[in-house]
Structure 1
Amino acid sequence: MAGIHERLKQLREENNYSQEQVANYLEMDQSYISKIEKGKRNLNEISFNKLCLLYNCSPDYLLGKSDDYESPKLAFRSDESVDLFAIAKMNQVIGYLKFLRKVERKIEND
């Protein structure tokens, strides 16, 4: 399985984000993102959690402990640059909705 630095680069490229965009989202320098993707630097817990929200993935997937990942199906119609903060918030809401559906199904089956 892939390590965290490989997963981060893969997810960034699959989503067509630049290192600069991700760096701005994490409020850090682009060169630091480059070093993280090369396995030369580590993420702090806050940045790690923000990336899980941005890419809509589990911590285990990002760490390379699981291959269970389904890319979010969000579409944007805008000529402006992509707002990664908004994407992360939408993914958070989607996660809450999925959780509520599971709870609802469990209640119905009990």
Structure 2
Amino acid sequence: MLPSVHHPRYKALRTHLKALRKGAGLTQVQLAERLSVDQSYLSKIERGERYMDVLFYLEWCRACEVAPDQAVTKLVDAGA
């Protein structure tokens, strides 16, 4: 069973995703364009209103020009 989007680990993931985006100097609109999705979709993920699967996580990392394995290491080190 998946944890709630309000679970502390999922909250850490959302914080991590937002930090990746901002670290790349991207707005939600710019990242959405790179991922070929609506900005509102990214906003819902960042606010915890929508789940994201691992494949989309990989694409998010690549769109932010971050190696997915390095991003996962940072996420784990942060306690998620």
Q: If the TM-score is normalised by the length of the shorter chain, which range does it land in?
A: 0.5 to 0.7
* Corresponding residue pairs, total: 66
User: Contact (CA 8 Å) 2:35, 2:63: kept in 1 or not?
Assistant: no
State how 1:1-16 maps to structure 2 within 5 Å: 3-16=12-25
- Counterpart-to-counterpart distance in 2, 1:54 and 1:30: 14
The separation in 1 between residues aligned to 2:73 and 2:61, in whole angstroms, is 9
Check if 1:48 corresponds to 2:60. no
- Give 1:61 shift: 3.7
Give the equivalent residue in structure 2 for 1:65.
76
Q: TM-score, normalised by structure 1?
A: 0.49
CA contact (8 A) 2:28 2:39 kept: yes
Which structure has more RCO (C-alpha within 8 Å, separation ≥ 6)?
2
Structure 1 unaligned regions, length at least 5: 68-110
Q: Percent identity?
A: 29
Change (3 A) 1:38 1:60: same
TM-score by length of 2: 0.64
